[in-house]
Structure 1
Amino acid sequence: MPRYEFTEGSSSKFWEIRQEGTTLIKRWGRIGTDGQEKSETFDSKAEAKKAYDALVKEKEGKGYTLVEGEGGDDEAQAESASHPDLEAAILAAPDDVKGYLAYAEWLKGEGDPRAELILLQHAALDAPAAESAKARKQAAKYIEAHAGELLGEDLAEAVSEETLKLEWHLGFIREARVGQVDYDSTADVPEVLRKLLAHPSACFLRSLTLGMACFDGENEYHDTLEVLGKAKPSKALRHLFIGDFEYPDDTEISWTHVGNLQPLYRVFPELRELRVRGGKVELGKIDLPELRSFTVETGGLPLGAVKSIVKAKWPKLEALEIWFGSDNYGAEGGVKDLKPLLDAEGVPNLRKLGLRNAEFTDALCEVLPKAKVLAQLQELDLSMGTMTDTGAHVLATNPTVFRRLKTLDVSENFLTKEGQKLVATAAQSVISGKQRVPYDEDSRYAAVGE
């Protein structure tokens, strides 16, 4: 229970308040005593919250200072209206508007502003173009005008500062991006994320993107991942992107420390897409049975992460993209470590494979003609690596293997014009532009290291 105190002259008083559903419980008296307690019940949680805020504002205006517990904003979030049964119905059929409309009816009885937002956004779904545009504008204005009620003051402030960017769908947050905006930002990204994930408006969050955690110094996601790992398990989240930043403008990839992702798999078991960008990536034991797409973009992939990938349990995976990076920035492993993947172990539905940004691309080319996984692929991406004309020759002289591919990408390697000609017809479509020129025979390197 938040506790406020006032000490001035001979006065030494305390005042406490908490909200339990539609009831406010207040306790007050002289500091050092138990004081007295009184409760008051309102018609809805929203009315109780409004009274809560007014009382806190009144006490603060009289000089009372918060000395213990959380302030009013966390109370607001904790007491926002929620209905587990109605939420379960929506989760079971997330594209059926009937579930949302039923929720709107219940929220209306609770005095929750999301009820009106659901109706406004529903009106925009099937209406003629002009009416739909009008309804969308009304919904946008409603969100802006009621941001404090819909989100709580802290999250509303994060939105106004663009630390938090949201997309709403039928009264609930469908997509969110959290990240510092620039070098002047002081936003606490983990705290904003914690409040977002705990808020009832985000209970159907389907897509989450994490931008810069910190512009000042190294960009570390440890605290942010800790928040994700401790979040309430969600079956709604489908898309997660960790590391949405521009390199090298915002920071270098190797200056970004991602950390351990394993605790996230339990929290978000229904993920369909997982994308990670940064260095010091720990993947642990990957168990994501519903995942369709996995991408790890790094300047130095450690051997532990390579082993995690080739041993992963993701039977529905369709697209896998791996950036290996430079050994100068922590890259470890090589062709032999990829054998389970090249043998198509555990990836029965894989159709698109990217083995990119590697310092061993020529060695990969040597083993690919006999790789079992080639038989099931439609796209193969070997870009950003160290392929020379030697590797190109291998691809060109095994037409029966590679001609099955719809797309072969060998761009940003070290092919000469002759090498590009060699691979030009290796697959149905070949991408071979933006070749790099080495300073000398020993200066071939992965495109992204630092």
Structure 2
Amino acid sequence: MTIGEHLTQFGGLQVQQWEPGQPLGDTATTIHRIAVDYDDETAWTDKFRAFLALSGVEQSQGLVVGLWTDENMDGDSAPMIEALTAAHMHLPNLKTLFIGDITYEENEVSWITQGDLSPVLSAYPHLTHLGIRGGNELSLGQLHLPELRELIVQAGGLSAEVVREVMNATLPRLEHLELYLGEENYGATSAADDLTPLLDGSRFPALTYLGLKNSDHQDEIAQMFAHAPILEQLDVLDLSLGTLTDEGAAALLDSDRVKTLKKLNLTHHFCTEGMMEKLNALPIEVDTSDHQDDEDDWRFVALGE
């Protein structure tokens, strides 16, 4: 799996690329994406400054941050973070934010260096939708976003520290949690046990979609959550894009709580044909597409490099 296209919508709003000299789009339906190209002569911070000078920019409901440097993406993200943090007075209505809308042609996801985003997240306490792509040096700090409904973190590998920051976050209205946990070769250091705070459902009581995806510990995660009380509040359990085998699938198949879901997403997996037939016979929607051949016991997550 590669991410080959930029966002076209996020948080229920259309995403529109913006360049200096262009007018502000309809802020009722549109959020703007600000990015640089490799041959761009204008820095991201200069583009962002020009955007903030637009008449009506204070009505903007969201922002998408694309490529923020024309250098290697292991470069310094501090200027972007500082500019975004300082702009909070100009963007009082900002509720939707995606940082790192970067395709593989611009930079592989495992090479994106995010840095410490806690100043940004503190500056915009009314966020309802937050997306982040890239896990290198990522930190969320003490995450306290009382109105957040959706949190997506995409990476080839998430550190244990970031996973624990999410587990300890204060997000009382969170409905959609989607973590691309990744594999060790691309920076993943968390263990399945780091997800324990989710099991009883009390951590995020409004949660209806739980995506614990793209993990090289997918069997262990499946076994942990197959009988967990949190399933009773979920509509969707998403264990896709990882290294799930019959071992983890058997635990899901044996669970009465799994049968209370509306959907079980297992896309990109290493289960046998026989196990797929059993899973697809469950009385809920089950997605077992993108079956992978388990050649020489080599299993891989869908989004790595």
Q: Same fold (TM over 0.5)?
A: yes
Q: Is structure 2 residue 52 aligned with structure 1 residue 197?
A: yes
The 3 A distance-change label for structure 1 pair 217 and 367 is same
Render the CA deviation track for 1:234-288: whole Å, top value 9, x for unaligned: 44111111111222x2210011111111112222111110001112221111000
Render the CA deviation track for 1:298-317: whole Å, top value 9, x for unaligned: 01101110011001101000
**Structure with the higher fraction of residues in helix conformation:** 1
Residue 415 of structure 1 aligns with which residue?
271
Q: Distance in 2 between matches of 1:175 and 1:169?
A: 6
Q: TM-score, normalised by structure 2?
A: 0.87
Asked if 2 retains the 8 angstrom alpha-carbon contact of 1:235 and 1:270, the reply is no
The 3 A distance-change label for structure 1 pair 265 and 157 is closer
Residue 365 of structure 1 aligns with which residue?
222
The counterpart of 1:354, out of the listed 206, 211, 218, is 211
What SS does the aligned partner of 1:259 have? coil
Render the CA deviation track for 1:335-392: whole Å, top value 9, x for unaligned: 1111112222330100000000001110111111332211100001000001001111
Q: Which has the higher contact order (CA 8 A, sep 6+)?
A: 2
Asked if 2 retains the 8 angstrom alpha-carbon contact of 1:326 and 1:449, the reply is yes
Q: Is structure 2 residue 199 aligned with structure 1 residue 339?
A: no
Residue 270 of structure 1 aligns with which residue?
126
Asked if 2 retains the 8 angstrom alpha-carbon contact of 1:176 and 1:209, the reply is yes
Asked if 2 retains the 8 angstrom alpha-carbon contact of 1:314 and 1:347, the reply is yes
Q: Distance in 1 between matches of 2:292 and 2:218?
A: 14
Q: Distance in 2 between matches of 1:218 and 1:251?
A: 7
Residue 25 of structure 2 aligns with which residue?
167
Instruction: Give the number of aligned pairs.
Output: 285
The counterpart of 1:377, out of the listed 218, 234, 246, is 234
Render the CA deviation track for 1:194-246: whole Å, top value 9, x for unaligned: 34235552111102011111343226533211211222344411111111122
Q: Distance in 2 between matches of 1:198 and 1:266?
A: 23
Residue 296 of structure 1 aligns with which residue?
153
TM-superposed deviation, 1:186? 2.6
Asked if 1 retains the 8 angstrom alpha-carbon contact of 2:27 and 2:60, the reply is no
Asked if 2 retains the 8 angstrom alpha-carbon contact of 1:198 and 1:231, the reply is no
Q: Distance in 2 between matches of 1:198 and 1:345?
A: 43
Q: Distance in 2 between matches of 1:270 and 1:200?
A: 22
Asked if 2 retains the 8 angstrom alpha-carbon contact of 1:389 and 1:418, the reply is no
Q: Is structure 2 residue 107 aligned with structure 1 residue 251?
A: yes
What SS does the aligned partner of 1:158 have? coil
Asked if 1 retains the 8 angstrom alpha-carbon contact of 2:31 and 2:63, the reply is yes
Residue type of the alignment partner of 2:303? V
Asked if 2 retains the 8 angstrom alpha-carbon contact of 1:326 and 1:358, the reply is yes
Residue type of the alignment partner of 1:184? D
Residue 323 of structure 1 aligns with which residue?
180
Residue 260 of structure 1 aligns with which residue?
116
Residue 310 of structure 1 aligns with which residue?
167
Q: Distance in 2 between matches of 1:324 and 1:394?
A: 20
Residue type of the alignment partner of 1:197? L
Residue type of the alignment partner of 1:209? V
The counterpart of 1:401, out of the listed 254, 257, 276, is 257
What SS does the aligned partner of 2:215 have? coil
| Structure 2 counterparts to residues 40-439 of structure 1, below 5 A | 158-159=20-21, 166-169=24-27, 175-180=31-36, 182-197=37-52, 199-218=54-73, 220=75, 221-233=77-89, 234-247=91-104, 249-280=105-136, 281-398=138-255, 400-426=256-282, 428-439=284-295
Asked if 2 retains the 8 angstrom alpha-carbon contact of 1:222 and 1:257, the reply is no
What SS does the aligned partner of 1:258 have? coil
What SS does the aligned partner of 2:237 have? strand
Q: Distance in 2 between matches of 1:319 and 1:157?
A: 31
Q: Distance in 1 between matches of 2:165 and 2:202?
A: 13
TM-superposed deviation, 1:439? 2.9
Residue type of the alignment partner of 2:121? Y
What SS does the aligned partner of 1:190 have? helix
Q: Distance in 2 between matches of 1:434 and 1:346?
A: 32
Residue 9 of structure 2 aligns with which residue?
none
TM-superposed deviation, 1:393? 1.4
Residue type of the alignment partner of 1:227? A
Q: TM-score, normalised by structure 1?
A: 0.60
| Unpaired runs of at least 5, structure 2 | 1-17
Q: How many percent identity over aligned positions?
A: 33
| Unpaired runs of at least 5, structure 1 | 1-155
Asked if 2 retains the 8 angstrom alpha-carbon contact of 1:237 and 1:268, the reply is yes
Asked if 2 retains the 8 angstrom alpha-carbon contact of 1:407 and 1:429, the reply is yes
Asked if 2 retains the 8 angstrom alpha-carbon contact of 1:303 and 1:331, the reply is yes
What SS does the aligned partner of 1:223 have? helix
Structure number, greater radius of gyration: 1
| Structure 2 counterparts to residues 22-41 of structure 1, below 5 A | none
The 3 A distance-change label for structure 1 pair 385 and 174 is closer
